[in-house]
Structure 1
């Protein structure tokens, strides 16, 4: 039995730690430059990992299961509420095209990396699904796929560590490319004045939000999740995956895909309702931070350090495939270099890091469009991750 200072059945203490440490991670990320550079996700994961290995937290508890089973599904619709498909198609046509090509680069890189490292990295079918979804969408897709494929916690933690190292490296590469004359001659780039502020703090600045917004956000999210879970169970019984309705079972019988699909359909049918909601991104992101805290808790530091280097090589192949495909396709279709680099950043890092790069490089006219296409990645990430992860599982 695991002996720890806080027992596994001490529900209030465990929920208190998870909620407080998530809040501390967010505060540090927005307050200090060093924390923003490390990222709040790594702070959330790393802190909980240290508390567990120090013998303060138990490695298993029903509280952690509740985060996987209830918190993550609730975060998904909240982070999808502000996706406006019509607006994306209308205002971000060029960026959307190169973004989709970048997403193809992620998918291709995931397949290549899977076959390269399948014999060296355990559970790579699950990890491949997580990374392919995350490197098209973002943290919400990573969390959804981790929950869907029931990836062991220590491997989820190792992947997060490798992923954040890779993101830091890719960000430096993308920031440096526009200054290289080789790229300037072949692509052309519009330089602008950069910003100096903490981008995490700038993005998550104070916004007006009412009690009604909170109530409608949470109530709508609960309703969508409840309907999706019941509907997925119903369709799973009606369309067994081994029958002649594999595609219907794949889409309708999967809780996370049905949850994504239903949310997006509702935002299309009732755009004004969701546009008026305030705070969905903030509430959803906080719930994802609870997930990041929890995935660090069962992590054994020895396993993290043993697996992280190989996983870093895995995500490096995926990220570089995205970048190379983006550059090649961008050159072929005559996109500007800043559009190519921002699309690559939006697919691998998500809309926040892409907007931060646009602000830092002074590409002010691309900040809003790249945010739109980055959120589009949240929509398609779960589909790609599920498809690739399911296929990979047949090959191991």
Structure 2
């Protein structure tokens, strides 16, 4: 049993390193369907379930300190690529489609909570809000919401399973939608001429100009992000708490989110290695959260899977109605939905299935989600708690 905080952190980092190596260097079929974050969650939770991690002040203090330090730094680095100038180029109709997709997710959670509330855990609204953060942003937004609202670890484990299973099925559906896109577009009477491939070419050029990762860029990113994290945490502690959601962590996340958007529009936003370092931090945070979970009460997981399915069905219905009324083509709907539910890893892939020149549209959609996902998740928590 591990009761030393440093050894505990070392085991989590070693486990994360093994998983990243296998997913990046080995082409096992399972890695196509199960993300590395989920494998890390399952592995760390299993270690805790069998008693490898013991209850001790050292372990708890180490996990809390590292998570609190890395969370704002991770959000800051993830937003370095979110250039508002490129997002504005998408045009009002594409942007509206993305926000309708996000709204459909939130409405789906409200409808689902009203249906399933009687059977759910009293604090399930917190975990569902974290899932809403993931389904309107990404995994980083999920852990950010979790870090603010402190959903029970057991319930959070359920929604992570929901996130993995339903995301995989949703991705298959979005890929399959390519085959009937022409018929769908005729049904909605959509005009596809407003999709400007030149926006994609501009974004691809920007991406190609990034310098290679070197020691100077790594030190600047590590030192700068951790300093901003410390400063944001201190500032958050000086500001008043407003209700159950707006606390010191919320203020810190808001501060780094705004700063990240500002930096993204400057040359600093193109510093090499920002996304890679952010993913490293995300692995550490997910490992810490998972190490506080166990598999002793998985009997409730099917209930949360059913709830997640209802969310996506409501989301799909809203998109269908919107497409018919606004005459929107399937490409925009599929990529906007994938950017919400799947995030940066899957939205460009689905976009490429429709048209390779429009891949950056998927990237920009996902980047919008990476900014709004945390706040959408927190809003969902507030709405569900009021119900």
Residues 1:50 and 2:46 aligned together: yes
**What is the CA deviation profile of residues 138-171 of structure 1, one whole-angstrom value per residue up to 9, with x for unaligned ones?**
1111000111011122221221111100101111
Q: Determine the C-alpha separation between the residues in 1 that align with 2:68 and 2:255.
A: 19
Partner of 2:156: 156
Residues 1:344 and 2:337 aligned together: yes
- Alpha-carbon spacing, 1:267–1:298, altered in 2? closer, same or farther (3 Å): closer
Contact 2:49/2:296 (<8 A) preserved: no
How far did 1:84 drift? 0.9
Structure 2 SS opposite 1:81: helix
- Alpha-carbon spacing, 1:59–1:93, altered in 2? closer, same or farther (3 Å): farther
How far did 1:186 drift? 1.8
- Alpha-carbon spacing, 1:338–1:270, altered in 2? closer, same or farther (3 Å): closer
Contact 2:212/2:272 (<8 A) preserved: yes
Taking structure 1 as the reference length, the TM-score comes to 0.84
Q: 1:213 pairs with 209, 212, 217, which one?
A: 217
How far did 1:284 drift? 0.8
- Alpha-carbon spacing, 1:92–1:302, altered in 2? closer, same or farther (3 Å): farther
Q: Give the alignment of 1:195-344 within 5 angstroms.
A: 208-236=212-240, 241=242, 253-265=247-259, 267-268=261-262, 271-303=265-297, 305-344=298-337
* Structure 2: gaps (5+ residues): 193-206
**What is the CA deviation profile of residues 100-149 of structure 1, one whole-angstrom value per residue up to 9, with x for unaligned ones?**
11001011111111212222121212012212221111111100011101
Taking structure 2 as the reference length, the TM-score comes to 0.85
Structure 2 SS opposite 1:71: helix
CA RMSD of aligned residues (A): 2.6
Partner of 2:204: none
Count of residue pairs the alignment pairs up: 363
Q: Determine the C-alpha separation between the residues in 1 that align with 2:74 and 2:109.
A: 25
Q: Give the alignment of 1:111-130 within 5 angstroms.
A: 111-122=110-121, 123-130=123-130
How far did 1:333 drift? 1.7
Residues 1:379 and 2:371 aligned together: yes
How far did 1:306 drift? 1.4
- Alpha-carbon spacing, 1:65–1:102, altered in 2? closer, same or farther (3 Å): same
Structure 1 SS opposite 2:81: coil
How far did 1:92 drift? 5.5
* Structure 1: gaps (5+ residues): 191-202, 243-248
How far did 1:91 drift? 3.8
Q: 2:30 pairs with 34, 52, 67, which one?
A: 34
Q: Determine the C-alpha separation between the residues in 2 that align with 1:187 and 1:26.
A: 43
How far did 1:372 drift? 0.9
- Alpha-carbon spacing, 1:131–1:214, altered in 2? closer, same or farther (3 Å): same
Structure 1 SS opposite 2:212: coil
Q: Determine the C-alpha separation between the residues in 2 that align with 1:90 and 1:132.
A: 27
Q: Determine the C-alpha separation between the residues in 2 that align with 1:277 and 1:299.
A: 36
- Alpha-carbon spacing, 1:348–1:52, altered in 2? closer, same or farther (3 Å): same
How far did 1:389 drift? 1.0
- Alpha-carbon spacing, 1:261–1:98, altered in 2? closer, same or farther (3 Å): farther
Partner of 1:193: none
